[in-house]
Structure 1
Amino acid sequence: MVLPVVTLLLALGFIHGVAWPGILLAGGVVSVVLMTAEMIARSQSRTPAQLVRAAEALSRGEPVSIRPSGDDEAAQLAATLAELSAQLGSRQHLLEKTVESIRDPVVVADEHAMIVIVNAAARRLYRVEPGFDTLTGVRTFQNYYADGTTVMPIAETPMARALRGDDVDDCELIVKPLRAEPAVYLVANARPLRDDAGNLRGAVIVLRDVTAERQAHQALVESEQMAQAIVRTALDAFVQTDQDGIVLDWSPQSEALTGWTRSEAVGQRVVELVFPEELRVAHRQRITRFLQETAAGGMGMRYETASVHRDGHRFYVEVSLNALRRGDGWIINSFVRDVTQRRRAEEQLIQAQKTESLGRLTGGIAHDFNNMLTVITGTIEILADGVRDNPQLTAIAKLISDAADRGAQLTSSLLAFARKQPLQPAETDVNDLIGEVVRLLSQTLGSQTEIRTELGRDAWFAFVDRSQLGAALVNLAINARDAMPDGGTLTFATRNMQLGIPDAVAHGVERAGDHLVIEVTDTGTGISPSHLEKIFDPFFSTKEVGQGTGLGLSMVFGFVKQSGGGIEVKSEQGRGTIFRIYLPKADGTVQGAIEEDDLPVRGGNETILCVEDDPTIRDYVTGQLESLGYKLLVAANADAALEIVSRGTAFDLLFTDIVMPGSMNGRQLAETLMAGRPALRVLFTSGYSDGALPAQQGRGGHGIPLLTKPYRRGELARMLRRCLDLQVDFQGDPVPQPYSVQPDLERFLRENPPEKN
């Protein structure tokens, strides 16, 4: 009876070792087996063959059926085995259902690496069934390490390691089906299975699907990376602080904007880094109010404020705030944009609008005023000739003439400020002009003022009205002298500069490109901040009443802007002032300044078509032209002039006002007539062109002359002869004249008379 007992124990031991150790026969199953063995040992009445077969079937997990026997002990043993078979079957079914219902994949293999248990989740993942060899079976999947690119060898899989006796904890791997299906991210835990003697009987692996977690984590990482990339590449600076203003993050743009590096800024209070001291309390109050509004449902805040760079200079920024709740506190995200140039542009726009409105007013007044002054300045010469034998009346006539000249100068200043004065720009050697201005000023500013020049040798020619620029430089020099009552240094400098679009906007220049920069610097008392923003306003002056009109700088401003340039001023009290004038570069070669004709007044006998809408001016001009010997054709407007021309009446020169009522102005009339007669000579006159005359006049090879109102009889006579005596070809281009050194020689001899022996 020893052999059947041993056989049954081995059979039950096999079940205990292979099937599910510690799971199937834990606890009560062992006691049942021992009791059964004891009963069999005491049984001496029958052969154990039937019991051995039952034990072997029980070891295979098959139901046990034993025929009744007359032997009570054998019958009792048979009943016990049958009951044990039923219990094991029930527990095995419950275990299979339990494992099958687990959502995580579960796989059990025996010591030969054959799968004996695989639940539904594992079957879906690996497409394997019981009996599959985990080491040599043909796979429909591939395992990868956590990087997703390195293949995991079969010998290094958690199951293979557990079958070698290793405990595997939280091993990350990726399963990629060979078919076009998404990869699955898993965390594996595997354990070897041993019997009571410690012999390896298999391994179990439980896998947890973390694909959703990994995807969520990756999305979070990518989102953070994108946010960081946006911050790094944004045009605006990014600053992150806590609710107390301690810097948590500081973008590269913040470093460039403020001068503080990230390592220097993080951990510091932002208010102490970038806010002027007088604005810090207001900033703290603003942040407190912002957080209160955010807590109540507010969506953010945007404001502009002054800021201070690490080097001390101030600039203006626009700040956009939003806040995020973190625990019991707040995180404040700020995007900061430098708006200094925009503010300057807005200020320049306001200045331009103010100038434009005043320009309309002054332009209209100047037009009528210049017409009246033309009559006064012209007729006063006639009166002066008539009373030249009476000293008292001659003095009165001179007083009237001087008053008219001052009125004309005042009108010219008003038009210059309003950018309505008629300009005659040309390619001008500014270095040469400054030399002339310095020679003039050295005799008038006094010995207390030292004049220096720092002129660029390669300075470009500027396209500008030479005489007006000279007047502007003299004006700035006189202001500089007044700012240096105890003497000082006045410096003129020139240099070339290429302006991009942002620079052109910042400097108030009309367009980007090449510009000549003129700097006029003094070492005087400087200008206070309250006065600095008003110095270009008309009639603004810090001088005492009667010592200035307040139009000097406004005239300079208007002239420069009308020339397509820009002007800016930098000054500190006690440290002097710098005026910078930006003028557009000329494209051609320099043209020398036109010298006034010193010859006596000379008339002629040509026929002139005179077009003037103002009857008073028309009568005056008619009398002056007739007194000079010219024949006249007179028209009140362009339509009347065209009617005269249509009749075929011959004439030699068109003398026309620019601003006229009717279907066309003087410029349009001239263009209409020159279309059929290119060689027609034209002389414009105006006291207020109102944009009717282009800044760059001319056709073909020479410019059309302009006689500015008010003018005197001598100026009228000289301009007429200059136009009529100019030799032109059939296309209206000037005919080159032979060069003669005789005028230069005569001038040299006058200035340097030969010594008498």
Structure 2
Amino acid sequence: MNYHKLLARQIKKYLPAEIAENPDVKKFLSVIDDSYDSLQRDKLLVERAFSISEEEYTQLNNKLFHEVEVKRKSIEKLKNTLGEIGGVHQKDKDDLLSIADYLNKQILQRKSAEKVFTSLVNNSLSGILLEDENRKIVFTNQLFCDLFQIPVSPESLIGADCSESAEQSKHLFKDSEKFVADINVILKTQTFISDNLILADERVLRREYIPIFIDEIYKGHLWSYTDITEKKKAQEALQESELKNRLIMNAALDAIITIDYKGLITFWNPQAEKIFGWKEKEVLGKRLTDNIIPPYHKNGHDNGMEGYRQTGKGPALNKILEMPAVNKEGKEFPIELSIIPVKQGDTEFFCSFIRDISDRKRNEEALKSSQELWKFALEGAGDVVWEYNFQTKEVFFSKQYKSMLGYKDNEFSNYPDEWLNRIHPDDLQLISLTDQEYFSGA
């Protein structure tokens, strides 16, 4: 029988052969041999287990050492970064608790800033969509969902892919294919744009695209959509109103000139061109005093403008005035002028209505000369004359007439009542009947 080598040596050394061959002894030695084998196996297992544990310990130790080194470098880098941004005092740079406290404060501030940003965007009058560089939604608001008829909450859209969004929403726009094509071009060029889009229902949206770059690296973009339908209508109505006003002013028989707060010409209608000889393009932006005001009136005009700027009052405003003016040739002629101050929002300007009264002045002078000659002739003849104009209700009494009644010339004015008050009450009815017969053509 083959025994364990250690047991075989002991049997050979201590047991005689005849005893070792005894069947009962053999049975006993067989049991002992099994124990030796079991002990050998246990020893091998223990040695193997120890070998494995030692290897694992070495690996674990190396791993921990590596992690400690990584942490050390991370902390060192964190210290350097904090030193650069000045968030932690120098004495606290080695204090991890101070660093942790600072980072917590930064996190709280960032969360607070995010809340403010979210509140601002949610209350914005524009639909906002923020996408990352992969066209994944980072943020959007309810108004954007409403404008594009998206039946889910803004929060549920975060992380969604917008690659096909243009195709999905193009039916909302009047020119659907152009909307899709423009989106692709905009995303490719990555430059700011601001344009208007017309929806299928004729509403107008102002679209703005803002690319986002951090350290010159593209990180996404922001879309902003604002419903400007009413604003657009108001602008068009204003433009139409301004056009009508300009047409009316251009068709006016009076010269219409506007100047700004500094006295510079801002409007010059065709009649102003006709009266003064200057074309509109020649005078716009020029000083009014350099074009139509006589030299001896320039200081008065400038002083009046300065007085209005200081007090808000002007003696020449909202009145009809007669004064001289000069044309492009330097010729002086009389004009009738009215100036109205106009406020439009924060802007203030002056609108002048001007009429050339040269013909009227000549006619007035001619009439005056004719009347003086007539009066001279009457006074020379010594006749008693009075004249009453039924249309204008004007009356003329000669000096001889006034003298006949016992009045001096300055004591008897040229008004109808001066005559009527001196008629006997019984004759007033006759005078009234005479007037009626005249008007009836009898």
Per the normalisation by structure 1, the TM-score is 0.28
Instruction: Give the helix-richer structure, 1 or 2.
Output: 2
Relative contact order (alpha carbons < 8 A, sep ≥ 6): 1 or 2 greater? 1
Per the normalisation by structure 2, the TM-score is 0.43
